[in-house]
Each structure stands twice: as structure tokens, then as C-alpha cells.
Amino acid sequence: MSGRTKRRLPRLLAALAAAATIAGCATTGAEGGTAATRDPLEPMNRAVYEFNDAFDRAIAKPTAQAYEKVVPAFLRDMVGNAFGNVRDVWTAVNQLLQGKPGHAASDAWRVAINTTFGLAGLLDVASEAGIEKHNEDFGQTLGRWGVPAGPYIVLPFLGPSSLRDAPARGVDLWADPLRTIDSHGQRNNAFLLRAIDDRQRLLDAERVVSEAALDRYSFIRDSWFQLRRNQVYDGSPPAAEEDTEWLDELERQESGTGGAAPAAPAPAPAPANTPSGAPGNERR
């Protein structure tokens, strides 16, 4: 890291502490809450989402499609590998911050192998050799440290984020090795290429989201929250409190009413276990 980066560190940590505090205060109980509690800024978020979507349709997506069409797959793989290799550096740092020295070592090892044997990262030989790739960023590190995700925030151009992850994203950018490229022109080209590469990978996914979602906005938001939580816990988050009580209760009632298939919501007054009459209507 350069001297410039070192001098910035204290300021950055102070800002982070502040952001974490704000996020912590603002979001007690927001994790796993309803749409209203997780997304108090919905009107604004939807507006930004619409803007992003328009930008995407007009510029980002056509660019990504052209990229996919013009550049052969093996070259695109190399581009993706090279950026992935750069990302692995920051992943390793975050593993360390999260208290996972084993993973940090394996991710650093990946960088060493891919940078040398992988021809400056163009080939992902480490994965071929069975060294698993991870993706860690500073938002996940904050999550590990106990900072809740906080309210949903859609960032212009960047998409889904939250009160915790948006500032963390700034840290990711601050630590981004691409920023150390000296020439302005080359640096911008690198960022641009990476953006196109990222977008191109999402082309298939986007189709699924369009087809699966009744409302794309809330579909993306709700999957995003789950996804981030899953990432924070490296794939095995504590089982979410699934509220199935009401359904279990309903099933008991309905199977109790004369063996009708559970699909029948018991039109007749139920026996013993439902003293209050019409089952299924007692609470809304």
C-alpha cells in the first residue's frame, strides 16, 4: 500500500465507526423484519431503481450484450479471472479482519499462484487445483462484527445496498487495487472494463429475475437481503425464524375436521379443538 493510503487510514476508521454506529442505532430489529421496517425509504429507492433500470436498458445492458457478442468466451474468462484475482487480495484482507486466518492464508495463496502460474491472473489455476475461491468485502466484515444490515438503500448505478453496506462499499473502493494504476486513462479503462464484465455476467440472471418476479423491485430487494445475510455467515446463517405456527395450527384444525384433504378450509363448524367456530377466520 502506498503512503497516501496509509495517511488516510485514521480518517477512514473514524468515518467507519460513525457509520457503524448510525447503522446500529437506526436498525435495531430491522434484520428479517417486514418490508416496511427494512425499507423505510421505499419511495426514494424505487425512484433510484427506476433510474438505474432506465440507464441499464439504454446503456449498460446493450454494452454488455455487445461485449458478449464480440469478445470470445475464453477471452472474457481471462478478463473475469484477472479482476477476480485482484479481488482476492481484498478478500484475503477481509478474511483476516473477520478472524479467519486460515481462509485469509488460502486466499492469499490463491493470489500468489494465479499471479505467477496463472500468468498475471489471466488463468484461475488455483481453482483448478482445488483452492476454493471466496468473496469477502467490507460490508460482510462489518456484518461479522455484529453491525446489522440496516435499511435498504438503492445506490445510483450500483444497485442494491444498505445503510451498512453503502459506506462499506466506499471502503472497498478505497482499497481497490485498480486505484493504484497511475495513468488516469488506463485506470478508467480498467474500471469500465470491469463494470462491463460484471454486467455481462448478470445477463442470464436478469432474465430469470424478469420472469420470476411479480414485482422486480421487491424481488431483488428481498433476495438481496437474504443473500447478504448468507454471505456474512459464509453460507450457513442461523436458521431464520420461520413463522409457520399459523399454518401448523391451521393444518391441525383442518385435518381435525373430518379427514377432508388439508386443502379444505373446513366450512363446517369444527369440533373440539376450535371452540370459536369458523376456523381460519379468527385472526387476520
Partner 1 sequence: MKQPYSYSPHSRFFARFALWLLAACTLLVVSPVRAAEAPNEMIQRLSEEVLQRINADPALKAGDPRRIDQLVDGIVMPHVDFQRMTALAVGRSWRDATPEQRQRLMDLFRTLLIRTYSGALSQVGDQKVQMKPFRANAGDTDVIVRSEVVQPGREPAQLDYRLRKVGDAWKIYDVNVLGVWLVETYRTQFAQEASGGGVDALIRSLQQKNEQLASGNGKAN
**Footprint on residues 154-213 left by partner 1 (CB under 8 A):** 157-161, 165, 173, 191-192, 194-195, 198-199, 201-213
Where does this chain touch partner 1 (CB under 8 A) — which range of 93-101, 113-121, 129-137, 143-151? Answer: 129-137
Question: Which of 12, 96, 108, 127: binder of partner 1 (CB under 8 A)?
Answer: 127
| Closer to partner 1 by Cβ: residue 19 or 64 | 64
From the list 136, 140, 147, the residue with the least C-alpha distance to 17 is: 147
30 is an interface residue for partner 1 by CB under 8 A: no
Task: Single out the residue of 15, 48, 250, 256 in contact with partner 1 (rule: CB under 8 A).
Answer: 250
Stretch that binds partner 1, among 6-14, 102-110, 130-138, 141-149 (CB under 8 A): 130-138
Q: Which is nearer to partner 1, 27 or 162 (CB)?
A: 162
Q: Toward partner 1, which CB reaches closer, 7 or 207?
A: 207
Q: Is 256 among the residues that bind partner 1 (CB under 8 A)?
A: no
Angle at 94 between CA 175 and CA 91, to 5 degrees: 75
Q: Which of 30, 60, 149, 171 binds partner 1 (CB under 8 A)?
A: 60
Closest approach, Cβ 248 to partner 1, in A, equals: 9
Question: What does 10-55 look like in DSSP terms, one character per residue?
Answer: HHHHHHHHHHHHHHHHHTTT-TT--HHHH-TTHHHHHHHHHHHHHH
Q: Compute the distance between CA of residue 28 and CA of residue 150 in angstroms, rounded to an integer.
A: 8
Give yes or no for residue 137 binding partner 1 (CB under 8 A).
yes
Pick from 128, 166, 145: nearest CA to 94: 145
Shortest distance in whole angstroms from residue 9 CB to partner 1: 21
Q: Which helix (H) or strand (E) holds 228?
A: helix 216-232
Instruction: Give the cell for residue 278.
Output: 369458523
Q: Other CB atoms closer than 10 Å to residue 241's CB: what's the count? A: 7
Nearer to partner 1, 17 or 207 (CB): 207
CA distances to 46, 79, 197 from 215, in Å? 11, 33, 26
